[in-house]
Structure 1
Amino acid sequence: MTGPQGTARGRDQMRSWVQSAGIRLMPKEAYDVPGGIVVAQEATWPGRPDFDSGAAPAKLFTTFGLRDGSICAVHRFETLEEARAFPIAA
């Protein structure tokens, strides 16, 4: 899993990030790419102390690498073009 805070590996790391990030992701669109999918999402951070409920959601693009029916990789990007160009290792 990669994003603005760096890279981490493993289910426990992913679980810990989901529990601590304070993020809410709303999927808006999905695109098939070789080895996985790209999901366009609106992101807010209601779990953060500096959350501004009046602020517009951020638009993010996340690639999900898929292997044997499971997610094997997650990478966050600022644009659809970056996400689609990223080689997903399947």
Structure 2
Amino acid sequence: MNAVIEIADQWTDRVNAKDIEGVLKLSATNVEISGPRGTAAGHDMLAQWVENSGIQLQTLSRYIRDGKVIYEQKASWENENGEVILYSFFLVKEGKVTQIARFDLLDDAFGASGMSEEDLV
């Protein structure tokens, strides 16, 4: 399996397990996190998000180009009913996740990342 996908898979698994230490080990110290509530950076913000988000992610499909990955994921949250489909973008450099962004639409993820349907694996 591609090393970038392995890192993104491990990152997702550790988020699902609320393994803060594991997520931080896979993330650059200045990791950028973007989502519906804005953009933040650093291990402290990432640790807080892992602790408080209550998110569970199931990857449905993967797109990859160079060190960039987009995951189509089914997401659910603790204490909330229902599931949504979202798109998680990961930028991996030197074995660490340096950027994570959440998108509600695949086209938005493609536009922000420069990726396309051709990158489906």
Task: Verify: 1:36 aligned to 2:68, yes or no.
Answer: yes
Task: Verify: 1:13 aligned to 2:18, yes or no.
Answer: no
State the partner residue of 1:82.
Answer: 108
1:66 counterpart SS class: strand
| Structure with the higher fraction of residues in helix conformation | 2
Find 1:72's aligned residue among 90, 93, 98. Answer: 98
Q: Normalized against structure 1, the TM-score is what?
A: 0.82
Q: Which has the larger displacement, 62-71 or 31-40? A: 31-40
Quote how far apart the aligned CAs of 1:35 are: 3.6
* Residues 31-87 of structure 1: CA deviation (Å, up to 9, x unaligned): 0135410001000012x3xx12xx3x1000010011111100000001111111113
Q: Specify every segment of 5 or more residues in structure 2 that has no aligned partner in the other structure, as ranges.
A: 1-32, 115-121
Q: Normalized against structure 2, the TM-score is what?
A: 0.62
Q: Specify every segment of 5 or more residues in structure 1 that has no aligned partner in the other structure, as ranges.
A: none
State the partner residue of 2:85.
Answer: 59
